[in-house]
Amino acid sequence: MKIFVYNYKDDEKDFFDKISKECNCELKFSYDYPSLENAELARGFEGLSIYVTDMNADLLQKFYDMGVRYITTRSIGVNHFDLEKARELGLKIGNVAYAPSTVANYAIMLMLMCCRRAKYIMQSSSNQDFSLEGKRGIEMSGKTIGIIGTGKIGKTVLRHLMGFECRLIAYDVYQSEDVKEYAEYVDLETLFRESDIISIHAPATKESYHLIDEKAIGMMKDGVIIINAARGDLVDTEALINNIENGKIGAAGLDVIENEYGLYYNDLAPKVIKNRDLAILKSFPNVIVTPHTAFYTAEAINEMIENAIRGCCLFAEGKKNPFEVI
């Protein structure tokens, strides 16, 4: 089978070499995001492997017209696909899975960094400002931490937080009996009102769009810390910025932002970035912004690449793909 891989990175070569031999498939690569301009690179390929990028109706139609029938995304989320168009065309779409501790531990790292003002401390130290002014943090132990979304990642966050001696509360439409061992389920408004730190681990859907908005923030404690290592669309960026500026939000740790497509995973150092919200967020000393890298460990990448390539092969062979979306 022939599979074309977009969003390729040099340090992934060994992983792709290994799985291509195991699955006996031919791989070709592009460092770039898929687009209407470079879609011709995939002509003659049945399968496609991409990362988080805008797979809109026009692009899906283009790939279908060139013979692509199977697309796997090297991510858990699939909100970047026009799934309705994919169903119309009869395209098979698959995602992947990897150890939830990868993102869970990153989210906890962001919590700790926000509590201890790590960004400002590191920036000041790099300028040889070793004073204590403005660098006093807060203890995470003893705080109430609210987790929104208790799937595999949210559940792992809660389990790993048990050692920090925090009060743990959680919200999910579907409650898990396992989670009740670590946390108390509450309604969303209660979570907003009582949490010192809120960490989001919910999927991006029409229903969860701007889950954190002006109204939600208004219910929160003054000085609340918000962590988002899930999807940018879950947080209303305008409301977030406004409430960081007025002091309602004490700090934020953001591995994802709205409208990040085309920015992350590219070297844009010499360019003017067309995302004012990102520029504003990066300017705040109490906001940590990382480029959607919570997933990026050697262990997780190995799993993602293996599951994505194997998924395409399973589709082509007419076998059950455990990560089939449609």
Q: Tell whether 87 and 219 lie within a shared domain.
A: no
| 243/190 same-domain check | yes
Q: Which domain, by its residues, includes 307?
A: 2-98+297-316
My answer on whether 91 and 106 are in the same domain is: no
Q: Which residues contact 129 (CB under 8 A, 6 or more apart)?
A: none
Residue-level pLDDT at 266: 84
pLDDT of residue 90: 97
Q: Would you say residue 326 lies in a domain?
A: no
The angle, 0 to 180 degrees and rounded to 10, between the axes of the packed helices 13-23 and 298-316 is 30
Same domain, 79 and 109: no
**36 with 151, same domain?**
no
Here the CATH number for the domain that contains residue 179 is 3.40.50.720
CB distance 148 to 171 below 8 Å:
yes
Q: Is residue 322 part of a domain?
A: no
123 plus 210 within the same structural domain: yes
| 48 lies in some domain | yes
CB 232 within 8 A of CB 258: yes
User: Are 170 and 92 within one domain?
Assistant: no
Are residues 238 and 162 part of one domain?
yes
Asked if residue 191 and residue 65 are part of one domain, the reply reads no
Q: What is the pTM of this model?
A: 0.90
Q: For residues 47 and 4, is the Cβ–Cβ distance under 8 A? A: yes
- Asked if residue 324 belongs to a domain, the reply is no
Residues 194 and 276 occupy one common structural domain: yes
Return d(Cα 125, Cα 78) in angstroms, integer.
40
Residue 166 phi/psi, 5-degree rounding, is: -100, 160
* Count of structural domains within the chain: 2
Q: Please give the Cα distance from 49 to 68 (Å, whole number).
A: 11
Straight-line distance from the first to the last Cα atom of the chain, in angstroms, rounded to the nearest whole number: 20
Each residue of 286-301: b (16+ CB within 10 Å) or e? bbbbbebebbbbeebb
How far is it, in rounded angstroms, from Cα 229 to Cα 74?
16
What does each of the 326 residues of the chain score in pLDDT, given as a tens digit?
Answer: 999 999 999 999 999 999 999 999 999 999 999 999 999 999 999 999 999 889 999 999 999 999 999 999 999 989 899 999 999 999 999 999 999 999 999 999 999 999 999 999 999 999 999 999 999 999 999 999 999 999 999 999 999 999 999 999 999 999 999 999 999 999 999 999 999 999 999 999 999 999 999 999 999 999 999 999 999 999 999 999 999 999 999 999 999 999 998 888 888 999 999 899 999 999 999 999 999 999 999 999 999 999 999 999 999 999 999 999 99
Q: What is the pLDDT of residue 262?
A: 82
Is residue 182 assigned to a domain? yes
Active site residues: 231, 260, 292
- Does a structural domain hold residue 321? no
pLDDT of residue 168: 98
Tell me the two tokens of residue 326.
């449609």
pLDDT, residue 52, reads 87
